[in-house]
């Protein structure tokens, strides 16, 4: 699952927390497997209210109505069910559903107040608040006599293991696959053999929201905070100027930190996947922050300002070659010349870097849009494959 989907999970959790299930029924649809072309990838979710309202999506708009139409009766009795949409080479199906993609999509449907769905949402709620990576392993197909049902789950973090799947004879194998996914940060569909036939499990690695630290609280940082939050990132603004480091100036930021002139990193939390943008508009301050970020080994460092300015800083820091992590000038070349446009170019470049992409035009891409590519060490790529146990 790409990190941008974290905003979708957060929105679904927010709606779930507000719901009184004694008064309202809700349905959860999750894309669990994709082959060929599709608008959304595995891990995309849609929460459906009893009145037809929804949060999230499972396609570009072509499948939602059909999922809502079939979802309620397919889950009567609170049993989970998988819908398959396969339009590969099927012109009639493409016309019938109005699909824009030629692929196969499998969608898990379940009532939100079922035991397995409730356990998963509580688990994800805890992981979100603790900003902890996790794995959700869900059975998506099983023979009738396999003693495990579609929708059974294993829930894993570094310190916690739970879920109904752990109490079945498939629990040990699912746990091994889940630990691999947690370590690699990759989702996949796996097959666990049994005497009754194969059991398919969607092993989904879920990463915390991408942590972005913006050094500099000027007026041009505000649209950058907004753009990053719209993607679901966790955003911190840090500035040593008391009049700038004010929470009311950045209401969408997760944290606003007042640092000190002698300690420009005071109170700023860094993790292994933190990305940073430096935009204080002060040469001396930006140089000091750049030096600290390079010493920390930050995976992505964006520096606002002309190339010559960055080169002078590196020379004064006695760095002969710009490190690969440094993006200076920061942003993609989209012709932006306003704070809003520059912010767009910055978040687009960060998204591309984290996904291991170059940020070029899709029309010039020869490989499939979602195919795997080499990535930087700090990036997390999501891929799918079938593994025979």
CA 267 → CA 246, 248, 263, 272, 287, distances in Å? 14, 18, 9, 17, 19
The 8 Å CB, 24+ separation contacts for 92-101 are: 97/62, 97/63, 97/66, 98/62, 99/59, 99/62, 99/63, 100/39, 100/60, 100/62, 101/36, 101/37, 101/38, 101/39, 101/59, 101/60, 101/62
- Residues forming CATH 3.40.50.720 domain(s) in the chain: 211-354
Tell me which residues of the chain have a pLDDT lower than 50.
1-4, 373-389
pLDDT the model gives residue 117: 95
In this prediction, residue 98 carries a pLDDT of 55
pLDDT of 160-216, one tens digit each? 999 999 999 999 999 999 999 999 999 999 999 998 899 999 999 999 999 999 999
Cβ–Cβ contacts within 10 Å for residue 208, how many? 18
pTM of the model as a whole: 0.84
Q: Does domain 211-354 have CATH number 3.40.50.720?
A: yes
Closest CA to 113 of 203, 46, 23, 33: 23
9-36 pLDDT, tens per residue?
A: 999 999 999 988 878 899 999 999 988 8
């Amino acid at each position: 699952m790409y990190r941008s989907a974290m905003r979708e999970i957060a929105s679904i959790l927010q709606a779930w927390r507000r719901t009184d299930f004694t008064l309202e029924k809700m349905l959860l649809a999750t894309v669990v497997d994709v082959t060929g072309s599709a608008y959304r990838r595995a891990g995309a979710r849609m929460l459906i209210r009893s009145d037809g309202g929804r949060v999230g999506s499972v396609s570009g708009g072509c499948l939602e109505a059909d999922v809502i139409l079939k979802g309620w009766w397919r889950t009567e009795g609170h049993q989970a069910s998988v819908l398959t949409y396969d339009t590969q080479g099927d012109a009639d199906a493409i016309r019938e559903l109005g699909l824009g993609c030629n692929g196969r999509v499998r969608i898990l449907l379940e009532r939100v107040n079922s035991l397995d769905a409730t356990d998963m949402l509580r688990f994800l709620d805890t992981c979100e608040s603790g900003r902890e990576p996790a794995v959700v392993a869900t059975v998506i197909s099983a023979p009738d006599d396999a003693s495990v049902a579609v929708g059974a789950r294993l829930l894993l973090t570094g310190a916690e293991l739970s879920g109904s799947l752990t109490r079945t004879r498939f629990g040990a194998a699912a746990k091994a696959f889940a630990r691999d996914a947690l370590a690699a940060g990759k989702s996949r569909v796996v097959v666990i053999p049994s005497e009754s036939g194969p059991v398919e499990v969607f092993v989904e690695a879920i990463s915390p929201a991408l942590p972005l630290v913006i050094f500099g609280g000027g007026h041009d940082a505000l649209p950058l905070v907004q753009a990053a939050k719209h993607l679901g990132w966790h955003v911190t603004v840090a500035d040593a100027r008391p009049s700038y480091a004010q929470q009311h100036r950045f209401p969408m930021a997760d944290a606003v930190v007042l640092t000190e002139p002698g300690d420009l990193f005071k109170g700023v939390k860094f993790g292994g996947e933190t990305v940073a943008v430096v935009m204080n508009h002060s040469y001396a301050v930006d140089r000091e922050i750049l030096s600290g970020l390079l010493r920390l080994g930050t995976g992505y460092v964006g520096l606002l300002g002309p190339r010559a300015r960055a080169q002078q800083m590196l020379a004064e820091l006695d760095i002969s070659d710009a490190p690969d992590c440094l993006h200076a000038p920061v942003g993609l070349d989209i012709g932006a010349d306003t704070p809003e446009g520059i912010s767009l170019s910055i978040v687009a470049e960060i998204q591309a870097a984290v996904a291991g992409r170059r940020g070029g035009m899709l029309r010039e891409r020869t490989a499939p849009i979602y195919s795997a590519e080499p990535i930087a060490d700090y990036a997390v790529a999501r891929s799918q494959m079938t593994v025979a146990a």
